[in-house]
């Protein structure tokens, strides 16, 4: 891309860029905390989904120091629904490392950023370029698509990534690298879209090999799809006197550290199947059957957990899978549920709020 083309592209960005609440106002210097927070939230998640979460986080915790001081449980609860909960745990670990090791200021070099929890090469490059104007090569899914089309790269993903990265590096200017990165992301999000790119209004159409070929949707070339494995599981809705038994999941692994329904029977009871819920994770699809029962007393539960008021179940911060299962539990109650189910007295559940 010539210098003139790059300038034309940056002019397009100045006029047509997305006005997103996660971005600094016109003329304001970007706040590294907001840039980092939005980049972490946007991983695997759409802008529309992220917006309300970003607004709530920045209102509750306006600085990295405020977030670092927040109780884990509060942050996990605010995160519920965004998925990929390891990101939330890394978010807190990163905020605390910045306060403990960097005096509460984000480092401005990609290598120093990379050493922080939860920051991979993409996020390090994005924060360095967008928050600090460093020359860093930022390649997300949108940029990947734009570059693959500009150069009509025929190698399928993921093998094409090295070439895409080298091409992106060659295009990135020394000055205004942050604006250039955001311009590429915006072009991919609003013009060079996956299914029907708007080539006639694209500022790069004169330099685009895929446009010249006439079939830009062909790029990036995808490998043949593999079927996602399917797994099965169970979850248990045990209620007593308007409360349901919730447990805390182990700190590591799937949905680690989150509040959830038990996935092992928490009591001897007359369990009734109440349907199944489908949920798709990145690497597998899960069918979870819900079993419901009423306990005669709280001491019937043999698993450690907390009795949560059913009327406030939406405040429990359940991850999406368990929120869907809880909705099934509520439907089971609404349909009349079951008569009280006998359960043995193993009193180690603690009261909820």
In angstroms, how far is CA 189 from the centroid of its own chain? Answer: 17
Residue from 26, 39, 73, 109 carrying the catalytic annotation:
39
Residue 277's CB is within 10 A of a number of other CB atoms, namely: 21
Whose CA is closest to 133, among 174, 162, 98? Answer: 174
CB of 311 to ligand SF4, least distance (A): 50
Q: Is beta strand 230-240 parallel, antiparallel or unpaired with respect to 285-294?
A: parallel
Window of 45-53, 98-106, 207-215, 302-310 that interacts with ligand SF4 by CB under 6 A: 207-215
- List, as one string, the DSSP characters of 86-99: HHHHHHHHHHHHHH
Please list the residues that pair with 294 across neighbouring strands. 239
Rounded CA separation 102/127 (Å): 16
Q: How many residues bind ligand SF4 (CB under 6 A)?
A: 14
Residue 220 engages ligand SF4 in binding (rule: CB under 6 A): no
Residues within window 175-204 making contact with ligand SF4, judged by CB under 6 A: 191-192, 197, 199, 202, 204
Residue 317 engages ligand SF4 in binding (rule: CB under 6 A): no
Q: Is beta strand 350-351 parallel, antiparallel or unpaired with respect to 306-309?
A: parallel
Q: Is 39 a catalytic residue?
A: yes
Query: Which of 6, 149, 176, 259 is the binder for ligand SF4 (CB under 6 A)?
Result: 149
CB of 149 to ligand SF4, least distance (A): 4
CB of 134 to ligand SF4, least distance (A): 25
Buried-exposed string 171-203: b where 16+ CB fall within 10 A, e elsewhere: bbeeebbbbbbbbbbbbbbebbeeeebebeebb
Query: Which of 98, 127, 208, 277 is the binder for ligand SF4 (CB under 6 A)?
Result: 208
Residue 150 engages ligand SF4 in binding (rule: CB under 6 A): yes
Cis? peptide before 220, omega within 30° of 0: yes
Query: Which of 9, 57, 106, 211 is the binder for ligand SF4 (CB under 6 A)?
Result: 211
Residue 205 engages ligand SF4 in binding (rule: CB under 6 A): yes
Q: Catalytic residues, which ones? A: 39
Which residues lie near ligand SF4 (CB under 6 A)?
146, 149-150, 191-192, 197, 199, 202, 204-205, 208, 210-211, 216
């Amino acid at each position: 891309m010539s210098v003139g083309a790059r300038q034309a592209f940056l002019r397009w960005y100045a006029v047509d860029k997305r006005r997103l609440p996660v971005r600094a106002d016109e003329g304001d210097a970007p706040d590294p905390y907001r840039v980092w927070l939005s980049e972490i939230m946007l991983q695997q998640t759409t802008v529309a989904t992220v917006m309300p979460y970003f607004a709530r986080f920045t209102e509750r915790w306006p600085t990295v120091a405020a977030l670092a001081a927040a109780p884990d449980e509060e942050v996990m609860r605010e995160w519920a629904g965004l998925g990929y909960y390891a990101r939330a745990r890394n978010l807190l670990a990163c905020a605390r490392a910045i306060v403990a090791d960097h005096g509460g200021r984000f480092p401005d070099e990609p290598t120093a950023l990379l050493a922080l929890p939860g920051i991979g090469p993409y996020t390090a490059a994005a924060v360095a370029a967008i928050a600090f104007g460093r020359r860093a090569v930022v390649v997300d899914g949108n940029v990947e698509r734009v570059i693959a089309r500009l150069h009509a790269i025929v190698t399928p993903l993921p093998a094409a990534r090295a070439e895409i990265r080298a091409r992106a590096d060659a295009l990135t200017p020394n000055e205004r690298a942050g604006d250039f990165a955001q311009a590429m992301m915006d072009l991919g999000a609003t013009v060079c879209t996956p299914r029907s790119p708007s080539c006639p209004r694209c500022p790069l159409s004169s330099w685009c090999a895929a446009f010249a070929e006439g079939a830009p949707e062909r790029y990036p070339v995808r490998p043949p799809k593999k079927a996602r494995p399917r797994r099965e599981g169970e979850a248990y809705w045990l209620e007593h006197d308007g409360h349901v038994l919730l447990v805390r999941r182990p700190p590591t692994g799937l949905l680690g550290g989150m509040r959830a329904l038990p996935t092992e029977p928490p009591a001897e009871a007359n369990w009734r199947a109440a349907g199944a819920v489908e949920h798709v994770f990145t690497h597998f699809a899960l069918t979870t059957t819900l079993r419901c029962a009423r306990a005669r007393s709280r001491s019937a539960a043999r698993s450690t957990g907390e009795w949560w008021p059913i009327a406030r179940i939406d405040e429990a911060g359940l991850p999406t899978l368990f929120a869907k299962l809880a909705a099934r539990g509520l439907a089971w109650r609404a349909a009349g549920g079951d008569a009280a189910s006998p359960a043995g007295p193993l009193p180690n559940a603690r009261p909820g709020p």
